Structure 1
Amino acid sequence: MNWEQLLSLKRFGDTNKRLRKEQDETRLGFEVDYDRIIFSSEFRSLQDKTQVVPLSKTDFVHTRLTHSLEVSVVGRSLGRKVGQKLLLKHPHLQSVHGYQANDFGAIVAASSLAHDIGNPPFGHSGEKAIGEFFKTGKGKVFKTELTEKEYQDLCDFEGNANGFKILTQSRDGREGGLRLSYATLGAFMKYPKESLPKKPTNHITDKKYGFFQSDKEAFSEVANELGLIKRGKRDNASFSRHPLTFLVEAADDICYTIIDFEDGINLGLIQEEFALEYLINLVRDTINTKKYHQLKNTQDRVSYLRALAINTLIFEAVDIFIKNEEAILKGEFNTALLDRSKYEAQINDIIKMSVENIYESQEVVDKEIAGYEVINKLLHVYITAVQNKFNDNLSNYDKLILKQLPKTINTDHKNLYDQLLNICHYVSLLSDSKAIMSYRKIKGFDF
């Protein structure tokens, strides 16, 4: 892969090439990507979607929106620092093409901002709930009517693939979706493969999948424009990652490792003395002990250590990326950046404590159970109504249910896969509160 292609400013529908040196510096294309994402309705709905503790109304706890904003800030720093070093290494990118270090920061920031935009309500349990509906629930009846890959899309409903759909799908008045630059879309594509074959290798790219069958053509167009390396055999679409995807992933890893941990401390789920010890182990080389001991409360102490930890891991990720740039461009780098970190043991200690005390806490488990019930009911009722419409067998109840769906959701597809995926997509767009409200209406609790 080469950076000239990877930094493409092209957008869906473009007929002429967009050159970096011709860009308006006050309205740079990569910065436009950030603006389009942040003003989208799908991004705004993240303010009411679970990050760590589902449905929490506690001031301390992050939502998907605050998490995404923080990841974008870390991503911007990662991108700029890497950009500075890459321009020194490849000066023609600046002298010939006009690229600046901030361009790398803008691409990573925009992709990081969108990294959770496709996540359903109720956190990762929302993805699992949709998948379980088709794998073991009432949606299992559709298995024989779909292709293997179509059915797998639904059984392993994936927020990353749903995010690509949100960013690129066309509808009346919104052709090409948000029309982001291909560079930003490429950096967003964390798992550039389809749902089958499932985990064919231990390469990090194969861990999950990144696009639905309905979006395969659009995905391939972006990958080919960027010059991503083809990895799939025969008719299996699979590509190497865009190099900047590793920075988007690192930004997310840094934030959820450190900031989820901070949430757990502030909620009292993790005891302060253990938590501070774990964070101090990570920042032992940079901590100002005099300043630290002047801080009088837990929140200030944790905040200080959190800032140091994030800064430490940013420099670490940049160093690993630059040292492995050649392997990354060849598609031969097969792990997350922080998996190569000298702080891996400290990171794993923090994640282990978070899993035991936060992610598996009784409050989280109880509310994830409720999320399963809500999503299962919504899928069954909406899919039944759409199927009855297709079979010209609508009941009055079905007609009322369909009136709940927005006009942007096409219920007239003759293709079964598109019908099912559209309903899953609609449910995924609901915020936690909206999903619960829709459930209560269907159950007759609100009238």
Structure 2
Amino acid sequence: MEAGEAHSLANIVQAACVAHDIGNPPFGHSGEEAMGDWFADQFSSSNDLISEVPSDRQLAFKNFEGNAQGFRILCRLEMYRNDGGMRLSKATLGAFTKYPVTASTRESAASGTAAGYVGLKKFGIFDSELESFRGAASTLGLVVENQGDKTWWRRHPLVFVVEAADDICYNIVDLEDAFTTGEVGYDVVRDILYEAAGKPNRDVSTYTEAENIAMLRAISIGKAVESCVEAFKENYAAIMSGSFSWSLADICSMKSLFERMKKVSKDEVFTARRKTELEISGRKIIWNVMTGILPVYEDLRRSGWKEAGLTAHFL
């Protein structure tokens, strides 16, 4: 690969990494669940406005997905609104899209012969942006799968690189954050990061605990990048053909260390009182905000927003 090509690939990955959480609501995954539950409650209560959403699109509301909202922001809402959005390169859009499938298609595809494929774990495209992704996928030559009269795609190869960057950061940096907040003890964090960093032979006698953890975190990230790069190279053929169905972090040489980090987070961080209180308050905030905004859409409906051609942009 020539230097210019490598530079272009790095820029694509970097852009996709910067954008990867752009569609997440406040409070992260718990915020997604709160929004989905709010919509499900509205559907069950037969709200006049909400009930106008076609049945085949209700699933995308009940299981609100930040990945799909992110693609919507990039392609429609930000900058050139309803006219290409941020107008990013098709390669960047492909590298951004971890789940190249709509909610309704995913439901049937995930229960068929492709069950278990990593790109079907969630959905990443709303029906309103399907044609935008279809155009990018065609140009990029993504492997296409047909599910009855619907279509989904195998992941763009660079998705696995973007996903690895995310996995590396949240596993390692979250562990450092847990030490900083006092949720996980120094010895536990130090021991895991010391091994992840390759057991560096450095004199840390003058370091504070925070300085030592920061140093080990930085080295660990570098080692993790190297490990995931090797995993990509070893599975290059499967990745390029669209048959690869794992995350690089799950199969690389540091797999066991990532699993230890996840276990610590699950046992010590996700169950912490601070996080539980945040999720509970966050859920209440999101429900109150969405309930408060609903009358605005009801007013738009009464004033004839359907006639103004706004229906497609909301649905």
TM-score (ref. length: structure 1):
0.64
5+ residue gaps, structure 1: 1-86, 88-93, 394-408, 422-447
Q: Distance in 2 between matches of 1:362 and 1:170?
A: 36
- Amino acid of the structure 2 residue aligned with 1:149: D
> Are the equivalent residues in 2 in contact too, given 1:149–1:213 (CA < 8 A)?
no
Write out aligned runs for 1:59-208 (5 A).
Answer: 87=1, 94=2, 99-135=4-40, 137-140=41-44, 141=46, 145-169=52-76, 174=81, 175-196=83-104, 197-198=106-107, 199-200=110-111, 201-208=115-122
- Amino acid of the structure 2 residue aligned with 1:157: F
- Amino acid of the structure 1 residue aligned with 2:224: L
User: Which deviations, in whole Å up to 9, do the C-alpha atoms of 1:373-427 show, x marking residues without a partner?
Assistant: 111122122223312431359xxxxxxxxxxxxxxx9996563x754x5xxxxxx
- Amino acid of the structure 1 residue aligned with 2:73: I
Number of the residue aligned with 1:354? 265
Q: Distance in 2 between matches of 1:149 and 1:366?
A: 35
Number of the residue aligned with 1:223? 137
- Amino acid of the structure 1 residue aligned with 2:38: F
Structure 1: which 4+ aligned runs deviate by more than 6 Å?
none
Write out aligned runs for 1:9-408 (5 A).
Answer: 87=1, 94=2, 99-135=4-40, 137-140=41-44, 141=46, 145-169=52-76, 174=81, 175-196=83-104, 197-198=106-107, 199-200=110-111, 201-283=115-197, 286-291=198-203, 293-392=204-303
> Are the equivalent residues in 1 in contact too, given 2:230–2:252 (CA < 8 A)?
no
Q: Secondary structure at 2:145's aligned position in 1? A: coil
How far residue 241 of structure 1 moved from its aligned partner, in angstroms, is 0.7
How far residue 173 of structure 1 moved from its aligned partner, in angstroms, is 5.1
The two structures, once aligned, show a CA RMSD in angstroms of 2.4
Q: Distance in 1 between matches of 2:237 and 2:4?
A: 20
The structure-2 alpha-carbon separation of the partners of 1:114 and 1:216, relative to structure 1 and needing over 3 Å to count, comes to same
The structure-2 alpha-carbon separation of the partners of 1:152 and 1:164, relative to structure 1 and needing over 3 Å to count, comes to same
Q: Secondary structure at 2:146's aligned position in 1? A: coil
User: Which deviations, in whole Å up to 9, do the C-alpha atoms of 1:235-273 show, x marking residues without a partner?
Assistant: 223101110110000000000000011000011110111
User: Which deviations, in whole Å up to 9, do the C-alpha atoms of 1:103-134 show, x marking residues without a partner?
Assistant: 11111011000000111111211111110012
TM-score (ref. length: structure 2):
0.89
How far residue 145 of structure 1 moved from its aligned partner, in angstroms, is 3.7
The structure-2 alpha-carbon separation of the partners of 1:326 and 1:212, relative to structure 1 and needing over 3 Å to count, comes to same
Q: Distance in 2 between matches of 1:149 and 1:221?
A: 22
* Number of corresponding residues: 305
Q: Distance in 2 between matches of 1:262 and 1:229?
A: 39
How far residue 146 of structure 1 moved from its aligned partner, in angstroms, is 3.0
Q: Secondary structure at 1:238's aligned position in 2? A: strand
- Amino acid of the structure 1 residue aligned with 2:297: V
> Are the equivalent residues in 2 in contact too, given 1:194–1:236 (CA < 8 A)?
no
Q: Distance in 2 between matches of 1:412 and 1:380?
A: 24
Q: Secondary structure at 2:183's aligned position in 1? A: coil
The structure-2 alpha-carbon separation of the partners of 1:127 and 1:350, relative to structure 1 and needing over 3 Å to count, comes to same
Q: Distance in 2 between matches of 1:158 and 1:290?
A: 44
Q: Secondary structure at 1:232's aligned position in 2? A: strand
How far residue 297 of structure 1 moved from its aligned partner, in angstroms, is 1.1
Q: Distance in 2 between matches of 1:180 and 1:204?
A: 25
Q: Structure 1 stretch 384-393 or stretch 256-265: which is displaced more?
A: 384-393
> Are the equivalent residues in 2 in contact too, given 1:138–1:380 (CA < 8 A)?
no
> Are the equivalent residues in 2 in contact too, given 1:390–1:412 (CA < 8 A)?
no
- Amino acid of the structure 1 residue aligned with 2:19: A
- Amino acid of the structure 1 residue aligned with 2:202: K
The structure-2 alpha-carbon separation of the partners of 1:237 and 1:105, relative to structure 1 and needing over 3 Å to count, comes to same
The structure-2 alpha-carbon separation of the partners of 1:360 and 1:172, relative to structure 1 and needing over 3 Å to count, comes to closer
Q: Distance in 2 between matches of 1:339 and 1:281?
A: 17
Q: Secondary structure at 2:225's aligned position in 1? A: helix
> Are the equivalent residues in 2 in contact too, given 1:390–1:414 (CA < 8 A)?
no
> Are the equivalent residues in 1 in contact too, given 2:190–2:213 (CA < 8 A)?
yes
The structure-2 alpha-carbon separation of the partners of 1:213 and 1:331, relative to structure 1 and needing over 3 Å to count, comes to same
- Amino acid of the structure 2 residue aligned with 1:273: D
> Are the equivalent residues in 2 in contact too, given 1:192–1:240 (CA < 8 A)?
yes
Percent of counterpart pairs with the same letter? 32
- Amino acid of the structure 2 residue aligned with 1:211: I
How far residue 171 of structure 1 moved from its aligned partner, in angstroms, is 7.9
The structure-2 alpha-carbon separation of the partners of 1:342 and 1:390, relative to structure 1 and needing over 3 Å to count, comes to same
